Structure 1
Amino acid sequence: MSTFLTGTSLSNPNPNKSYEVVQPPNDSVSSLSFSPKANFLVATSWDNQVRCWEVVRSGTSIATTPKASISHEQPVLCSTWKDDGTTVFSGGCDKQAKMWPLSGGQPMTVAMHDAPIKEISWIDDMNLLVTGSWDKTLRYWDTRQANPVHIQQLPERCYALTVNHPLMVVGTADRNLIVYNLISPQTEFKRISSPLKYQTRCLAAFPDQTGFLVGSIEGRVGVHHLDDSQQSKNFTFKCHREGSDIYSVNSLNFHPVHHTFATAGSDGAFNFWDKDSKQRLKAMSRCSQPIPCSTFNQDGSIFAYSVCYDWSKGAENHNPATAKTYIFLHLIQESEVKGKPRIGTTGRK
């Protein structure tokens, strides 16, 4: 595999002319989350910080203002928002999750594990926080109580998690994909082996809860339906590859309006796709560093993504002198994310 930077064409961190978030983290970004209620963006980072910016759009321009930040004791790996937009949750290598009221209250530790917390999600319908850890457990938390409401054993370390109530899917080491129906979360609904041959990197539940996307380190995405009668609709496709070079798919995000989706990868590219017509809607220019995480805002008008070293080539390939961290905001054009009729269809049922 060649080195990441190959020539002048890949020396630009912002070839898509996105808007740059001011005062980004000092180290790589591990997660990005937009408030479900307003344009507030949260980033977690390997520099142990959780930061929040206000994003203000005026026509075709965007301005960002740093609002606040909190610290963990070790690198922070994941973040999520409460559905009402008042509270941020974050978890990481200090084995704890913190609850941060944005009204100005002090952050509180609300969850603990025996190993780093890799994934976190707020389940509004249950009024519970769920955390997934490398200690091979999922834990559900009522944030008013010190102990978890329920501990679910996993077959391996948690690598990825997606929730769209009542559907929850957990990806672990050894390519396990465990599906839960959150109406009865203490029992597995279904366990399958990933349709992809290599390590699971990210997951995204379909907006209609009928299935999920899975991305892996091999530059491939799987589209999987849960209903056995829909198995003929399952497929996998290649993305984030350049000749013989294969890059990890690091992030999967469904558009909140059109239900198409974005992929972002270690090749420094993000693309928009329509799973129903099996088409790529838009391919964006490759940035000069990997994209480890991305997210849409609540109305799908802004796509946030980070451009920074993603540690996939180890510490020995990390050069602090050149590996600046960026967070960019891309203004979405409807043509980039609106689905298209499937090629070859005639309109007949």
Structure 2
Amino acid sequence: MSKQQSNSPVFPLGEPKTFQDTISGIEGHSSQNGILIGVSSWDKTCKAFLVNSPTQTQIVGSVNCNSPLTSICKVHESQFLVGSLNGGVYLWNVQQNSLQQVGQFNDCITSMKPLLETNSIVISSLDGSLGLLDLNSGNISKMPVNNKVICMDAKYPYITFHTPNKVEVFNIQSGKLMTDTLIGGQQSTINSSVQCIAVFPDRKGIVYGGADGRANVLHFENKSNQYTYAFKAQHKKISTTQTYYYPVNSISFYNETIFLTAGSDGVINIWDKNKKSLVNTLTSPIQNCPITTADFICENKFLAYSVGYDWHQGVEGLLQQQVSVPVIKVVDDPLVRL
């Protein structure tokens, strides 16, 4: 079956030089005035864009930090939480154009995810801890996990995260690791570095993507090959005998069955996990430029992604004229339907 062409509008944000380094995250709020998009970058800045249409986008806020910014999470209307390379956690108020520090970890912040059920945000760090920021009190409670947390996702009651050679699942309600029960010891031990991870919307499993270009679907309740499997997510066939594999940089769910993977090959692939089928493909607007982050945002009405260098080829792979650009695309039926 041939894929349908998605012709929905695309919103490029800013100019090619708006950001001076790799974009680490994009989040958004829907409002009566339009869509408020927050973008964090390794150039130590956060920038906010108000989007009304593909031809009406404007920067409405910009703040600077003393450290590269590594993650972003929406909080309330016109507010975002951002994490930094030096372990700082900051509340960014776009209306007030202010950046207030609300927490400190001992190493880089790797992920931040909201838990609406508890009005809190889960924070992971390379210092070997998970933190829970209570938005009511502003307090952060920390849980040591005895190893660097490279990436993390959370959907109540589960927090899933990757430490070197291991994928873990923590149950917030019980306060216990559930890895052996939900995944199994053999399945949770891995050889490749995991770049990104996501909990199913129905909380029945997880998907994670690695530096080897593969995505792994792990079902908590059914371990058969129909439900728990791995597949090649980001790769290019160079010849009949040679295939290049590229790191999977992002995973995001549209609904319970449809999710995306995005990678260093400059491609966003949209999959149906139940049918094990490719639904659609988007390529980077800049040829051969990696997708550094991709996510469905604003109640999944929009696909937000960024192009730029992701350092998977080291300093040698950096082009002199490399640019970092955030992009918003309206999600239409052809994009996410077989």
Given residue 79 of structure 1, which amino acid in structure 2 is its aligned partner? I
By how many angstroms is 1:75 displaced? 0.8
Q: Answer yes or no: is the 8 Å Cα contact 1:218–1:246 preserved in 2.
A: yes
Contact 2:168 2:188 in 1 (8 A): no
Aligned to 2:330: 331
Does structure 2 conserve the Cα–Cα contact (< 8 Å) formed by 1:89 and 1:97?
yes
Structure 2 equivalent of residue 260 of structure 1: 258
The question of 1:214 aligning with 2:208 is answered: yes
Answer 1 or 2: which has greater strand percent: 2
Shift of 1:40: 1.7
Counterpart mapping for 1:171-182 below 5 A? 171-174=162-165, 176-182=166-172
Assess, with a 3 A threshold, how the Cα gap between structure 1 residues 196 and 271 changes in structure 2: closer, same or farther: farther
- 1:262-309 CA-to-partner distances (Å, cap 9, x unmatched) read 111000011111101111011223542100101223243321211101
2:86 corresponds to which of 94, 105, 116 = 94
Q: 1:52 to 1:124 in 2, by over 3 A?
A: same
Measured after TM superposition, the shift of residue 122 of structure 1 is 2.7
**Secondary structure at 1:293 match in 2:** strand
**Per-residue deviation, 1:116:** 1.1
Q: Which amino acid letter does the alignment assign opposite residue 228 of structure 2?
A: N
For residues 179 and 162 of structure 1, what CA distance do their matches in structure 2 show? 10
Alignment partners' CA distance in 2, 1:64 and 1:170: 35
What runs of 5+ residues in structure 2 fail to find an aligned partner?
1-7, 238-242
Runs of 5+ consecutive residues of structure 1 not aligned to the other structure: 1-15, 341-349
Q: In structure 2, which of residues 198, 220, 230 is the aligned counterpart of residue 226 of structure 1?
A: 220
Q: Paired residue for 2:106, among 102, 109, 114?
A: 114
The number of residues matched between the two structures is: 315
| 8 Å Cα contact 2:304-2:326 kept in structure 1 | yes
* C-alpha distance 278-232 of structure 1, shift in aligned 2 (>3 A): closer
CA–CA separation in structure 1 for the residues paired with 2:282 and 2:223: 35
- Kindly indicate whether the alpha-carbon contact (under 8 Å) linking 2:40 and 2:71 is maintained by their aligned counterparts in 1: yes
Distance in 2, Cα, partners of 1:93 & 1:234 = 34
Partner of 2:19: 25
Alpha-carbon shift at residue 68 of structure 1 (Å): 0.6
Distance in 2 (CA, whole Å) between partners of 1:264 and 1:44 is 18
Contact kept? 1:39, 1:297, Cα under 8 Å? no
Describe the shift of the 1:195–1:135 C-alpha distance in structure 2 as closer, same or farther (beyond 3 A): closer
Q: Tell me, yes or no, if the aligned pair for 1:260 and 1:337 is still in contact at 8 Å.
A: yes
Match of 1:305 in 2: 305
* 3-state SS of paired residue (2:178): strand
Matched residue of 2:288: which SS? coil
Identity between Structure 1 and Structure 2 (%): 22
Equivalent residue, structure 2, for 1:35: 29
Matched-pair contact (CA < 8 Å) for 1:36–1:297: no
Q: Distance in 1 between matches of 2:104 and 2:312?
A: 27
SS of the aligned residue for 1:316 comes to helix
Q: In the TM superposition, what is the alpha-carbon distance from 1:123 to its structure 2 partner?
A: 2.1
Question: Scaled by the length of structure 2, what TM-score is found?
Answer: 0.85
1:301 partner letter:
K
TM-score, length of structure 1 as denominator length: 0.83
Distance in 2 of aligned mates of 1:218 and 1:206: 22
Aligned partner letter, 2:330:
L
Shift of 1:205: 1.2
Match of 2:151 in 1: 160
Aligned-residue CA RMSD in angstroms? 2.4
Check conservation: 1:214, 1:222, Cα contact below 8 A.
yes
Give the match for residue 8 of structure 1: none
